[in-house]
């Protein structure tokens, strides 16, 4: 059966690309986009859109009933850097929205949920290299605490109420279509914009801050793949580790210099350095590969070439 999808947070960095990908896969009329405010032209014109506050349970429930929704992708969240500034708001948005959707599935109003987690669930005591699926998890950021709590609730709703919720721990995501907002890994997008606009970039992380990253195309493919996988192949019901590449600001700079030889970088680490220092350097995603066939396609060189040529064509 073709799913009838509601995307909550459809105008954000992941949501906007996911909406278009799902519309081209299932048909425009099958995918309802929603967000607290309107999005870009392509998203608004390619299918139905609803103004929806992810913390408003009644509004989500009536949207689900109105459109006879089967699957919800809950993409609304406050990311790591912003969440440190607004802990209460971050907790309220990240947790309440999840409960609203989990409860709709528990009450059989929807059939399937996608909910994104993050490498932020790991903390300073987690092994940093090739971080395993199951390991020490003591996140020290508001965002990380909310994502870890969310993961535990997803597993709880699956085990106790049979809720079919599926989740991925996204690494830092790199994209050119929609800007990210309030993340610690956002430097890896800003750097391309500044390289083209002014030939230089002041980085808010130190040059050797190695973090797991992924191109948006890969992240969208992973999201669709986990949702299309047969129910019994999804054996991790908290959230799956997911990996593609890892690099630091110095390495991304080198690949940019292959296209813009006199690009220069300077370093002025701010409060986001403290966040990045608690996160893994690389991720072991064996479970995703074995359970639902995950395989990334983009490496740092192909990401850089694609980012620069697409951003260049926009100006």
Residues of the shown chain interacting with ligand AKB in the complex, contacts defined by CB under 6 A: 79-80, 118-120, 143, 170, 172-173, 183-185
DSSP class of residue 231? G
Q: How far is the CB of 123 from ligand AKB (least distance, A)?
A: 13
In the complex, least distance from residue 280 CB atom to ligand AKB, rounded to whole angstroms: 10
The residue of the chain with the least Cβ separation from ligand AKB equals 183
Nearer Cβ to ligand AKB (110/275): 275
Distance (Å, whole) CA 110 – CA 65 = 9
Choose between 81 and 102: whose C-beta lies nearer to ligand AKB.
Answer: 81
One-character DSSP codes across 9-77 = TTTSHHHHHHHHHHHHHH-GGGEEEEESS---HHHHHSS-EEE--TT-HHHHHHHHHHTT--EEEE---
Q: How far is the CB of 169 from ligand AKB (least distance, A)?
A: 8
Name 72's Cβ contacts closer than 8 Å, sequence gap at least 6.
Answer: 5, 6, 7, 8, 64, 101, 104, 105, 110, 112, 113, 114
In the complex with ligand AKB, the residue whose CB is nearer, 170 or 215, is 170
Count how many Cα atoms sit within 13 Å of the Cα of residue 84 in the half-sphere of its side chain. 16
Minimum separation from the CB atom of position 182 to ligand AKB (A): 7
- Nearest residue (CB) to ligand AKB, 188 versus 195: 188
Among residues 166 and 169, whose Cβ is nearest to ligand AKB?
169
Please give the Cα distance from 55 to 60 (Å, whole number): 8
192 catalytic? Reply is no
The distance of closest approach from Cβ of residue 283 to ligand AKB in the complex, given in angstroms and rounded to an integer, is 11
Catalytic residue among 73, 143, 158, 187: 143
* CA distance to 2, 90, 139, 154, per residue, from 157 (Å): 24, 22, 22, 5
Which residue bears the tokens 């699956």?
158
Q: Which residues have a catalytic role annotated?
A: 143
């Amino acid at each position: 059966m073709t799913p009838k999808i509601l995307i909550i947070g459809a105008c954000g960095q992941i949501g906007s690309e996911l909406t278009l990908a799902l519309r081209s896969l299932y048909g425009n009329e099958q995918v309802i986009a929603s967000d607290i405010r309107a999005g870009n032209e392509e998203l608004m014109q390619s299918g139905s859109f609803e103004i929806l506050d992810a913390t408003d349970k009644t509004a989500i429930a009536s949207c689900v009933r109105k459109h006879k929704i089967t699957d919800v992708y809950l993409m609304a969240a406050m990311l790591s850097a912003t969440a440190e500034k607004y802990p209460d708001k971050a907790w309220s948005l990240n947790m309440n929205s999840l409960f609203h959707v989990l409860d709709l599935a528990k009450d059989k109003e929807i059939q399937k949920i996608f909910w994104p987690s993050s490498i932020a669930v790991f903390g300073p005591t987690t092994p940093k290299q090739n971080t395993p699926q199951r390991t020490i998890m003591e996140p020290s950021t508001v965002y990380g605490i909310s994502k870890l709590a969310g993961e535990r609730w997803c597993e709880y709703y699956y085990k106790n109420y049979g809720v079919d919720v599926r989740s991925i721990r996204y690494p830092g995501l790199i994209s050119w279509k929609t800007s990210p907002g309030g993340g610690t890994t956002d430097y890896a997008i800003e750097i391309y914009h500044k390289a083209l606009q002014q030939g230089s970039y002041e980085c808010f992380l130190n040059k050797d801050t190695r973090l797991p990253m992924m191109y948006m195309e890969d992240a969208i493919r992973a999201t669709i793949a986990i949702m299309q996988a047969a129910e019994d192949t999804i054996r991790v019901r908290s959230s799956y580790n997911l990996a593609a590449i890892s690099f630091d600001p110095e390495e991304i700079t080198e690949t940019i210099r292959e296209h813009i030889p006199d690009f220069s970088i300077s370093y002025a680490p701010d409060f986001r350095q403290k966040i990045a220092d608690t996160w893994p350097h690389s991720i072991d995603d064996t479970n995703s590969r074995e359970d639902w066939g995950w395989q990334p396609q983009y490496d740092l060189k192909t990401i850089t070439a694609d980012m620069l040529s697409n951003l260049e064509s926009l100006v």
